[in-house]
Chains A and B, each alone.
Chain A
Amino acid sequence: MTVKAMTSKEVTQKVFNKDSFFILDVRNETDFKDWKIEGENFEYLNIPYFELLDGVEEIMDKLPTDRDILVVCAKEGSSIMVAEMLSDAGLNVSYLAGGMKAWSEHLEPVKVGNLTDGGEIYQFVRIGKGCLSYMVVSNGEAAIIDSTRMTDVYLDFADRVGAKITHVFDTHLHADHISGGRVIAEKTNATYWLPPKDATEVTFEYQPLEGGNDVAIGHTKINIHALYSPGHTIGSTSFVVDEKYLLSGDILFIDSIGRPDLAGLAQDWVGDLRESLYKRYRELSEDLVVLPAHFMIIEELNEDGSVSERLGTLFAKNHGLNIADEKEFRKMVTENLPPQPNAYQEIRETNMGKINPDTEKQREMEIGPNRCAVR
């Protein structure tokens, strides 16, 4: 019997709409505990496929009959097998096309707002991994910030809105995902900007991005103003776009703040992180809309699936911005940290251009959640 494939895009809409949904995840228990499809009204059952080889009778009473069921595995093969068995047993089920591999790579573009004179800013939500990247479009030109390695998505999107990519930025040297910045810049002849303090070991040409740099996009001059804000990395740089949006990179998130330890220098950088969050950001307008490079939990998504919040609201509500005692702050961001992102050292080396793993290896390196934040 044939079963339906459901795409990552369709599942993303269910996450955004807060639909009620049942996921039968047939990966092994360790992989499931480490990372899964998150949705506010999703229910889960995790039974490894290799325990279902002799039949699905044992789990039939644990599956709902009044809701859609999605069977999920790492790459789709096992989920098709299990979905077919369930379908033969009379249930209406689909499987996730491409499995968690496809889920990890799916990017959903969401328009965040309009800019001066017809410009627009889009957020690309990497729903499976919690990475957020951005495209600023103005009068036929586009800039991309913190792009993922799925570079075709940005190139196609720019084509569709009729814009030529002229500038590509990374707010910092990423440790959780492989940047597509260099590839996009090469394909489009755009300028690739990197903070020089994060780029001391890179093996390719780049334009040094420093606090105070202003870059114009389109002839109406959408202004991208760089603001040096170290702490997650020594070079971490934020951007103020069109005097309205604060792209905070991995320094400030909606419900958490950046962790200072991914380059092995937590004790050295914790002071910088404090300075960036408690002094430099305090000098900015509270009306700026914060657009971070990650979300950590699905509750951080707005109604439309975007991730953003007014800076003033974060000063009031984000726990990481409200720790008066410096010692306590130091303790929070250096002790009891969550596990580090999968293969983070290799990812950093890839982003420096020191190693060039093939696509399959890159996928494998990026498995799992981003884990760039502390709460």
Chain B
Amino acid sequence: MEANKVLDAKGLACPMPIVKTKKAMNELESGQVLEIHATDKGAKNDLTAWAKSGGHELVKHEEEDNVLKFWIKKG
């Protein structure tokens, strides 16, 4: 999936992955996609809930070698 921006949040503990995601998202236009890489297991539920409450769309999610990858489309 094509992303407009990639955020590396690997090795960061909660709340940093979301703090950084929020900042990165502010720099995108509506409809653009942010790709996030994280290793904190809690990121999955939190990013899903955060995207929903912020009106963004979690388009895709996968796990590869213990790295969680998310694609979120800005609402």
Contacts and interface: CB of A to CB of B under 8 A. Distances in A.
A43 interface: no
Given A30-B45, A50-B18, A53-B22, 20 more contacts: A28-B46, A28-B49, A29-B49, A31-B45, A48-B49, A48-B53, A49-B18, A50-B15, A50-B46, A51-B53, A53-B18, A53-B19, A73-B14, A74-B14, A74-B42, A75-B13, A77-B15, A77-B16, A78-B14, A81-B15
Q: Is the interface of B mostly helix, strand, loop or mixed?
A: helix
A113 B19 CA distance: 51
A36 to B, nearest CB: 15
Contacts of B49: 28-30, 48, 50
B45 to A, nearest CB: 5
A49 B53 contact: no
B22 A77 contact: no
**Central interface residue in B22, B49, B53, by most chain A CB within 10 Å:** B49
A64 B15 CA distance: 25
B50 to A, nearest CB: 4
A49 B19 CA distance: 10
A364 B45 contact: no
B46 A48 contact: yes
A29 B41 CA distance: 16
Interface in A218-275: none
Given A53-B22, A78-B15, A48 B50 contact: yes
A81 B12 CA distance: 14
Interface string A60-101: 000000000000011101100100000000000000000000
Contacts of A81: 15
Contacts, number: 40
Interface string A21-60: 0000000111100000000000000001111010000000
Q: What range describes how many residues of A lie at the interface?
A: 10 to 19
A44 B13 CA distance: 25
Contacts of B50: 48, 50
A31 B46 CA distance: 9
A73 B41 CA distance: 14
A364 B22 contact: no
Contacts of B41: 364
A50 B13 contact: no
19 contacts: A28-B45, A29-B49, A31-B45, A48-B50, A49-B15, A50-B15, A50-B46, A50-B50, A50-B53, A51-B53, A53-B19, A53-B22, A73-B14, A74-B14, A75-B13, A75-B42, A77-B14, A78-B15, A364-B41
Interface string B9-51: 0000111101100100000000000000000011001100110
Nearest to A26: B15
Contacts of A48: 46, 49-50, 53
A75 B46 CA distance: 13
Which 6 A/B pairs are nearest by Cβ-Cβ distance?
A: A28-B49, A78-B15, A50-B50, A50-B18, A77-B14, A77-B13
Contacts of B22: 50, 53
Contacts of A50: 15, 18, 22, 46, 49-50, 53
Nearest to B15: A78
Contacts of A53: 15, 18-19, 22
